Structure 1
């Protein structure tokens, strides 16, 4: 007993382990709830593996599904999924703080420290006020999105069902989850600007993050923004603009995607498909009909993902931004990596490179494992790679192979979704023990030839 108490105390002292176990606990609770027969519309349990996959996908705001969310789950099951999405989008510690607010309990110092780590805040002062602002901002954005979606959903599904659909999809969009209750994502609304632009708006706002939007509100002018906000806005804008243009050009005459739409419909669908690979997971056209080049571009967008301290996944826009700036300055022969009259610390570049390498390594390993476990299924490697990057980036887009995965494949993808949500660096920090015997010395330099 004393041994287990010591282990628990060690976990509590490590904020990274607390995050990991916090997400794992939420997934476990969600799995149990979704295995209940009452969670399924037909009254039969979906089974532990399928429930675990769904709970992981919802908590990690991914959107990959092994059963159709619209037709399989009961109202209870859909409510559980919505709650898991909201918890996963906001973060475990932020949700813990929200519950404390409602019951009138004071936020403990330990919880404040964990929130500070979860939100990547450098100062403990003002953490509670920050958490309240994030919660208010989140619920206001979701409410506004639900009101826009209700303009169409109430008309199509009636008042009660339309309101329920609006709330669910607003939560799913803002949290970049990609779960839908329609049955075929947003294909039915491919040329409906209200639905597609409302979803895109929620996805972008959720994927940019509270800190950037607050910085815009306070600074007013672009030159007054922090370097972080500038990089997020520039990289996000470039990815959306380039993604929209490439999708429009490559799929313009493809009858399986946007070929039959008029010009406004083509533009609308192109914008939608450029936005949602940024970790949202909705689609307005059949993804299995994409041209190979478009599918590859989508994989790249999914891999990059959204921005830090947001509801999005992927390696993040700032990671790519820092690496591009560092490479540019390196090739110019500069000693310091500079942009917008600011110097990027070497530690930041090293961290960005580490994230890129670890992420590529994970995707390579998991793609290889899935190629083995799904060998008899006859999937193309592009489909497997698409599924792998989608899981890692917590996107949720699929070329139709998720429900056909083997049990081993589902478990592997579930683990990848989990790592993608908490972050590979967080997992590394949590698992690697700190060296307690670091000496006050350095070794002589050793030269290594690169390139």
Structure 2
């Protein structure tokens, strides 16, 4: 074995020398690409022209990671700490991280008329959640066109609405920034205290929440809807995600409103229409977007727990949202329901779900739960802070939500670095897990069953 390791390493070195390529799996290449974006963003945000009074390298790295992973957690206030150049860098990192650098690479390659190598095809398939190479170009262009179109529409509406209170150039700039960050489910804002000043503003709240939902529902769902336009013709997955999104948003809206109705620090002193807007905003934004119109630190613990559940679930697959994803959550619920009803198959809309899909969903649930547990364990060791605040911050980082109980700026450098790792793992971890499950070799050996007690 000692002789084999150096030989293997030498052969790998020779192969890299001959081909000039690393034989890495798509998740490794994707992770390297995201890391490259983060490092580039760190350098740009560290420039004197990017900040008003200068920020540390740690803060620059944290903000770049938060932007690329479309999280929105902040160690410094973007509206105060960064110049226009720094804010544009942050906005660009969010766009690249949200849509994925692979999508931009594929679109660029197509526009230049270049053929994709097998390595690049595998990378694009993994990033765009496709199984057919023939669909890569169509999906990449759909993602690009849908994103730009939705962002332009949202930016236009916000510009016209905010023009009443701000100069036109300021209104345009802030509208574009918030259209990009909301569609990409990143919680960065150029207003103090996020969107608190728009608590009772129906246009701002409804536009921002619509942008969050469209960005988080998934491009495959949006594409299916645009092509078929009839409920009966939609794919089972599309129907499940639409109904799941509606159910989660409405349930969160009703529960948060009911729990906070008598809280004098949040909803109690507001007129009923402002209460409704605030509860709706809080429900939608908890699905990995991170904007707030209420003081999160003043919420009841019960409301905080509901928000953490919504953050943990997240949005749809092939979207700008993270979390375990709505599809995973619904599959697990359906599996439990089938077990309780003594059914051998898990059925959704008269279609059975494969055992591989159920196992993948369970693996994602356990992997994300383990990541949260590990993060909380480390932070509670490093910091003497309220447990619920640490748990909230960790769930927000792993689900790349970006909502905060004002804890992140108080954390030590070591704890902030832990959060950056959690954001990175939360964005790329599920992808790596799915890839490892999809590429594992099937064993032909079958073993006899054994009795095993659970529950």
Matched, 1:380 2:389: no
Cα deviation digits, residues 128-156 of structure 1 (max 9, x gap): 12211210110000000001111233222
Cα deviation digits, residues 345-365 of structure 1 (max 9, x gap): 001001101111111111011
Q: 1:197 to 1:356 in 2, by over 3 A?
A: same
| Root mean square deviation, CA, Å | 2.1
Q: 1:191 to 1:11 in 2, by over 3 A?
A: farther
CA deviation after TM superposition for structure 1 residue 407, in Å? 0.7
Q: Secondary structure at the match of 1:126?
A: helix
Q: 1:348 to 1:86 in 2, by over 3 A?
A: same
Matched, 1:443 2:444: no
In structure 2, what is the equivalent of residue 349 of structure 1?
358
Matched, 1:108 2:112: no
User: How far apart are the structure 2 equivalents of 1:51 and 1:168?
Assistant: 19
Matched, 1:323 2:319: no
Q: 1:290 to 1:336 in 2, by over 3 A?
A: same
What pairs with 1:23-422 in structure 2 (closer than 5 Å)?
23-42=34-53, 44=54, 46-100=55-109, 104-109=112-117, 110-375=119-384, 379-422=385-428
User: How far apart are the structure 1 equivalents of 2:443 and 2:171?
Assistant: 64
Q: Quick check: 2:78–2:190 contact (8 Å CA) kept in 1?
A: yes
CA deviation after TM superposition for structure 1 residue 440, in Å? 4.2
Q: Quick check: 2:313–2:326 contact (8 Å CA) kept in 1?
A: yes
Q: Secondary structure at the match of 2:164?
A: helix
Q: Secondary structure at the match of 1:338?
A: strand
CA deviation after TM superposition for structure 1 residue 446, in Å? 3.2
Structure 2, unmatched stretches of 5+, are: 1-9
CA deviation after TM superposition for structure 1 residue 224, in Å? 2.3
Q: 1:418 to 1:150 in 2, by over 3 A?
A: same
Q: 1:240 to 1:11 in 2, by over 3 A?
A: farther
Number of residues of Structure 1 aligned to a counterpart in Structure 2: 443
Cα deviation digits, residues 224-243 of structure 1 (max 9, x gap): 22121111111111111110
Cα deviation digits, residues 72-99 of structure 1 (max 9, x gap): 0011111111110001110121021233
What TM-score, normalized by structure 2, do the two folds share?
A: 0.93
User: How far apart are the structure 2 equivalents of 1:241 and 1:199?
Assistant: 16
User: How far apart are the structure 1 equivalents of 2:297 and 2:351?
Assistant: 44
Query: Which segment is superposed worse, 61-70 or 261-270?
Result: 261-270
Cα deviation digits, residues 252-305 of structure 1 (max 9, x gap): 121211222111111111110000000000000111110111011101110001
